[in-house]
Structure 1
Amino acid sequence: MTLDDLIKSINPEIYQNLKTAVELGKWPTGQKLTEEQVGLCLQAIMHYESSNDLPDADRIGHISRESMPAHKRKRAKEEEQLKRSIAVQQLH
Protein backbone atom coordinates (compact mmCIF):
# COMPACT_ATOMS: atom_id res chain seq x y z
CA MET A 1 0.00 0.00 0.00
CA THR A 2 1.36 3.41 -0.96
CA LEU A 3 0.99 6.62 1.01
CA ASP A 4 -1.57 7.83 -1.54
CA ASP A 5 -3.60 4.64 -1.06
CA LEU A 6 -3.47 5.09 2.68
CA ILE A 7 -4.58 8.74 2.48
CA LYS A 8 -7.42 7.79 0.13
CA SER A 9 -8.62 5.19 2.64
CA ILE A 10 -9.11 7.84 5.35
CA ASN A 11 -12.78 8.58 5.83
CA PRO A 12 -14.29 11.47 7.82
CA GLU A 13 -14.48 9.36 11.00
CA ILE A 14 -10.80 8.35 10.82
CA TYR A 15 -9.87 11.95 10.02
CA GLN A 16 -11.71 13.19 13.10
CA ASN A 17 -10.13 10.48 15.27
CA LEU A 18 -6.65 11.51 14.07
CA LYS A 19 -7.39 15.16 14.84
CA THR A 20 -8.66 14.29 18.31
CA ALA A 21 -5.62 12.13 19.02
CA VAL A 22 -3.27 14.96 18.04
CA GLU A 23 -5.27 17.53 20.04
CA LEU A 24 -5.28 15.36 23.18
CA GLY A 25 -1.82 13.86 22.64
CA LYS A 26 -3.12 10.34 23.15
CA TRP A 27 -4.95 7.56 21.37
CA PRO A 28 -8.53 6.64 22.37
CA THR A 29 -6.99 3.84 24.48
CA GLY A 30 -5.21 6.47 26.56
CA GLN A 31 -1.74 5.60 25.22
CA LYS A 32 0.37 8.72 24.66
CA LEU A 33 1.34 9.55 21.06
CA THR A 34 5.05 9.61 20.34
CA GLU A 35 6.55 12.62 18.58
CA GLU A 36 6.83 10.51 15.43
CA GLN A 37 3.17 9.51 15.64
CA VAL A 38 2.11 13.13 16.10
CA GLY A 39 4.10 14.09 12.99
CA LEU A 40 2.67 11.24 10.93
CA CYS A 41 -0.88 12.01 12.08
CA LEU A 42 -0.44 15.67 11.18
CA GLN A 43 0.83 14.73 7.72
CA ALA A 44 -2.15 12.42 7.18
CA ILE A 45 -4.56 15.12 8.39
CA MET A 46 -3.06 17.75 6.07
CA HIS A 47 -3.09 15.38 3.08
CA TYR A 48 -6.72 14.48 3.79
CA GLU A 49 -7.70 18.14 4.08
CA SER A 50 -6.02 19.10 0.81
CA SER A 51 -7.35 16.04 -1.03
CA ASN A 52 -10.90 16.70 0.12
CA ASP A 53 -10.89 20.47 -0.47
CA LEU A 54 -11.93 21.38 3.06
CA PRO A 55 -12.55 25.10 3.56
CA ASP A 56 -9.60 26.95 5.09
CA ALA A 57 -11.56 27.60 8.28
CA ASP A 58 -11.93 23.82 8.81
CA ARG A 59 -8.27 22.99 8.26
CA ILE A 60 -5.81 22.26 11.02
CA GLY A 61 -3.78 25.27 12.05
CA HIS A 62 -6.15 27.82 10.53
CA ILE A 63 -6.26 31.10 12.42
CA SER A 64 -9.13 33.39 11.53
CA ARG A 65 -8.45 37.07 11.26
CA GLU A 66 -11.29 37.77 13.67
CA SER A 67 -9.31 36.09 16.44
CA MET A 68 -6.25 38.25 15.76
CA PRO A 69 -5.62 41.50 17.63
CA ALA A 70 -6.65 44.56 15.60
CA HIS A 71 -3.09 45.69 14.85
CA LYS A 72 -2.19 42.24 13.49
CA ARG A 73 -5.37 42.10 11.37
CA LYS A 74 -4.43 45.46 9.86
CA ARG A 75 -0.89 44.29 9.11
CA ALA A 76 -2.15 41.00 7.61
CA LYS A 77 -4.56 42.92 5.38
CA GLU A 78 -1.77 45.26 4.24
CA GLU A 79 0.52 42.30 3.50
CA GLU A 80 -2.23 40.61 1.49
CA GLN A 81 -2.80 43.76 -0.55
CA LEU A 82 0.93 44.06 -1.19
CA LYS A 83 1.12 40.43 -2.35
CA ARG A 84 -1.80 41.01 -4.73
CA SER A 85 -0.13 44.15 -6.06
CA ILE A 86 3.12 42.27 -6.71
CA ALA A 87 1.24 39.41 -8.39
CA VAL A 88 -0.56 41.85 -10.70
CA GLN A 89 2.74 43.55 -11.58
CA GLN A 90 4.31 40.19 -12.41
CA LEU A 91 1.47 39.44 -14.82
CA HIS A 92 2.29 42.56 -16.85
Structure 2
Amino acid sequence: MTPEPGRARLLLGADGPFRSRLPGFAPRDEQIELASAIEATLAREGLLVAEAGTGIGKTLSYLVPVLDSGQRAIISTGTKTLQDQLFFRDLPLVKEAL
Protein backbone atom coordinates (compact mmCIF):
# COMPACT_ATOMS: atom_id res chain seq x y z
CA MET A 1 0.00 0.00 0.00
CA THR A 2 1.34 3.45 -0.91
CA PRO A 3 1.39 5.96 1.95
CA GLU A 4 -1.02 8.88 1.62
CA PRO A 5 1.05 12.07 1.29
CA GLY A 6 0.89 14.22 4.40
CA ARG A 7 -0.64 11.54 6.58
CA ALA A 8 2.40 11.29 8.88
CA ARG A 9 2.12 15.03 9.50
CA LEU A 10 -1.52 14.59 10.54
CA LEU A 11 -0.86 11.55 12.72
CA LEU A 12 2.04 13.19 14.57
CA GLY A 13 0.40 16.62 14.72
CA ALA A 14 -1.42 18.37 17.54
CA ASP A 15 -4.74 16.69 16.75
CA GLY A 16 -3.30 13.25 16.00
CA PRO A 17 -3.99 10.05 17.96
CA PHE A 18 -0.81 10.17 20.04
CA ARG A 19 -1.86 13.20 22.05
CA SER A 20 -4.42 11.12 23.95
CA ARG A 21 -2.25 7.99 24.16
CA LEU A 22 1.09 9.42 25.29
CA PRO A 23 1.12 11.64 28.36
CA GLY A 24 3.05 14.81 27.60
CA PHE A 25 3.01 14.25 23.84
CA ALA A 26 3.58 17.41 21.84
CA PRO A 27 4.21 17.75 18.11
CA ARG A 28 7.89 18.18 17.24
CA ASP A 29 8.90 19.80 13.98
CA GLU A 30 11.98 17.58 13.58
CA GLN A 31 9.94 14.44 14.24
CA ILE A 32 7.33 15.41 11.66
CA GLU A 33 10.03 16.36 9.14
CA LEU A 34 11.74 12.96 9.50
CA ALA A 35 8.43 11.07 9.36
CA SER A 36 7.48 12.97 6.20
CA ALA A 37 10.82 12.11 4.58
CA ILE A 38 10.31 8.45 5.44
CA GLU A 39 6.75 8.57 4.13
CA ALA A 40 7.96 10.06 0.82
CA THR A 41 10.72 7.45 0.57
CA LEU A 42 8.21 4.63 1.09
CA ALA A 43 5.92 6.11 -1.56
CA ARG A 44 8.66 6.03 -4.18
CA GLU A 45 10.15 2.75 -2.90
CA GLY A 46 13.47 4.49 -2.44
CA LEU A 47 16.28 4.44 0.06
CA LEU A 48 16.81 6.92 2.87
CA VAL A 49 19.71 7.44 5.22
CA ALA A 50 18.80 9.91 7.94
CA GLU A 51 20.43 11.21 11.08
CA ALA A 52 18.57 12.80 13.96
CA GLY A 53 19.56 14.07 17.36
CA THR A 54 18.61 12.74 20.75
CA GLY A 55 15.07 13.41 21.86
CA ILE A 56 13.34 14.28 18.60
CA GLY A 57 11.19 11.15 18.63
CA LYS A 58 12.91 8.97 16.05
CA THR A 59 10.95 5.87 17.02
CA LEU A 60 7.57 7.38 16.17
CA SER A 61 9.14 9.10 13.16
CA TYR A 62 9.82 5.76 11.51
CA LEU A 63 7.14 3.52 13.01
CA VAL A 64 4.21 5.75 12.06
CA PRO A 65 4.85 5.95 8.30
CA VAL A 66 6.07 2.35 8.01
CA LEU A 67 3.12 0.81 9.84
CA ASP A 68 0.64 3.19 8.22
CA SER A 69 1.89 2.20 4.77
CA GLY A 70 1.68 -1.53 5.41
CA GLN A 71 5.13 -1.91 3.89
CA ARG A 72 8.06 -3.78 5.36
CA ALA A 73 11.18 -2.24 6.82
CA ILE A 74 14.33 -3.33 8.59
CA ILE A 75 14.88 -1.59 11.90
CA SER A 76 18.17 -1.92 13.71
CA THR A 77 18.63 -0.87 17.33
CA GLY A 78 21.86 -0.25 19.18
CA THR A 79 21.06 -2.41 22.20
CA LYS A 80 18.85 -5.30 23.29
CA THR A 81 17.12 -2.92 25.70
CA LEU A 82 16.10 -0.63 22.83
CA GLN A 83 15.00 -3.65 20.80
CA ASP A 84 12.75 -4.80 23.65
CA GLN A 85 11.36 -1.28 24.11
CA LEU A 86 10.57 -1.08 20.41
CA PHE A 87 8.92 -4.49 20.24
CA PHE A 88 7.04 -4.59 23.53
CA ARG A 89 6.12 -0.92 24.07
CA ASP A 90 6.40 1.28 20.98
CA LEU A 91 5.18 -1.11 18.28
CA PRO A 92 1.92 -2.01 20.10
CA LEU A 93 1.30 1.66 20.92
CA VAL A 94 1.61 2.78 17.30
CA LYS A 95 -0.43 -0.15 15.98
CA GLU A 96 -3.23 0.70 18.41
CA ALA A 97 -3.12 4.40 17.49
CA LEU A 98 -3.39 3.68 13.78
Could you say whether these structures have the same fold, taking a TM-score greater than 0.5 normalized by the shorter chain as the test? no
Point out the structure with max Rg over C-alpha. Answer: 1
Q: TM-score, normalised by structure 2?
A: 0.29
Of structures 1 and 2, the one scoring higher in RCO (CA 8 A, sep 6+) is 2
Larger helix fraction of residues: 1
Q: TM-score, normalised by structure 1?
A: 0.31
